[in-house]
Structure 1
Amino acid sequence: MPTTHLLYLHGFRSSPQSMKARLVAEHVARHHPGVHWWCPQLPPSPREAMDMVMRGIDPWPRDTMAVIGSSLGGFYATYVAAMTRCPAVLLNPAVDPARDLARYIGDQTAWHDPAQHFYFQPAFIEELRTLEVGPVTRPERIFAIVAKGDEVLDWREMSARYPGSRVRLLEGGDHALSDFETKHLVDVLRFLDPV
């Protein structure tokens, strides 16, 4: 079924202004104007973020919706896909953010606007743990792009998290997937088959 509703979930300290989010938004607007696009600014609290997302997509048709998630957004997208059984594209997805983000407790700045501050609370670590969904039940509905050159996350963990799924393992690359527009954008949209 072609995708009619597309959700994009950004990463930790990121925003809808991220390079990849803007590229997908522009591509969808230009080539797939019939697709309902939503890329919300996620609050720092994982529980609040997923409550907001699940409320927002509640009226969406489960058989024609899809989700894209980058980094922490990839972890969130895995949760959304598990809850809705929709297809998901994961871009260098966080596998164990409860472990990895424990060292970021405290005052943080937004990546795209350093003047914006937020406090990453210790309670958020447990909130992340409650969003862990275990093994993927529909691996064929997941496409993960994983860069061996990711300077933030371990490519071995990322690629091992999604057995049976389509995993594009990049020999180099970086956490931001700087070559996203030229090397991956078209394939991401092809996998999701937007109307």
Structure 2
Amino acid sequence: MILYIHGFKSCGDSKKSRALRSYFGDDAIIAPNLSFSPKEAIESLSTIIIEKNIDLLIGSSLGGYYSIYLAQKFDKKAVLINPSLKPFLTLYPFIGKNRRFCDNLEFIWKMEYIKELIEFKVEKVDLFRYLVLLQSKDEVLNYQEALEFFRGAKVVVEYSGNHRFENIKDYLCMIERFKNSQR
């Protein structure tokens, strides 16, 4: 089973999750809508990992940050798509009213959520756990930070693209090989 973890202002029914479902099958992908509270999101994701016998995490942006924490905690492999490494800094400007991209739902991003994010920071990772997919033209995050942090892991840099990593379909075979590989 694969757990797809969406990013900030996104939701479980995103283009990436639909591409994953199309390739792996509806029954192979769990892609929940997450609480805006990082603490609540991590709690619900932890429950899913335990109850659904998840063997691969796929996280995009903020979902990548959550995936790093969860992969280390639960001894899982993870695919990180343009992962956010410091969302407690990059999401600070969003404190206040926001809208989700998928359904235009309004929500309030709170200072307490920034503090919650800090609790899930991982300083050192087991590099063998990760396949990291980066695009150099990410307009939100500096891909070089992830490239440096994950030096020694399986990292693919596409020298184009954007933060949304819209051509994820081109990497589904690679994700499947990583999922099925031994550590």
Q: Same fold (TM over 0.5)?
A: yes
Counterpart mapping for 1:35-114 below 5 A: 35=28, 37-61=29-53, 65-114=55-104
1:44-71 superposed Cα distances (whole Å, 9 cap, x missing partner): 100010011112222344xx71100001
Instruction: Give the structure 1 partner of residue 20 of structure 2.
Output: 24
Number of aligned positions between the proteins: 181
Instruction: Give the structure 2 partner of residue 189 of structure 1.
Output: 176
Instruction: Give the structure 2 partner of residue 117 of structure 1.
Output: 106
Checking the alignment, whether the CA contact within 8 Å between 2:13 and 2:31 is kept in structure 1 is: no
Quick one: higher RCO (CA 8 Å, sep 6+), 1 or 2?
1
Q: CA deviation at 1:163?
A: 2.2
Counterpart mapping for 1:136-175 below 5 A: 136=125, 138-175=126-163
In 2: Cα distance, 1:80 partner to 1:110 partner = 24
Q: CA deviation at 1:28?
A: 1.2
Q: Give the % identical residues.
A: 30
Q: CA deviation at 1:155?
A: 0.8
Query: Bigger shift: 101-110 or 52-61?
Result: 52-61
Gaps of 5+ in 2: none
In 2: Cα distance, 1:111 partner to 1:189 partner = 28
Gaps of 5+ in 1: none
Supply the AA of the counterpart residue of 1:190: R
Spell out structure 1 runs of 4+ moving beyond 3 A.
none
Supply the AA of the counterpart residue of 2:63: G
In 2: Cα distance, 1:145 partner to 1:155 partner = 9
In 2: Cα distance, 1:95 partner to 1:23 partner = 24
Q: What's the RMSD between the two structures over aligned residues?
A: 1.5
Normalised TM-score (structure 2): 0.94
Q: CA deviation at 1:126?
A: 0.6
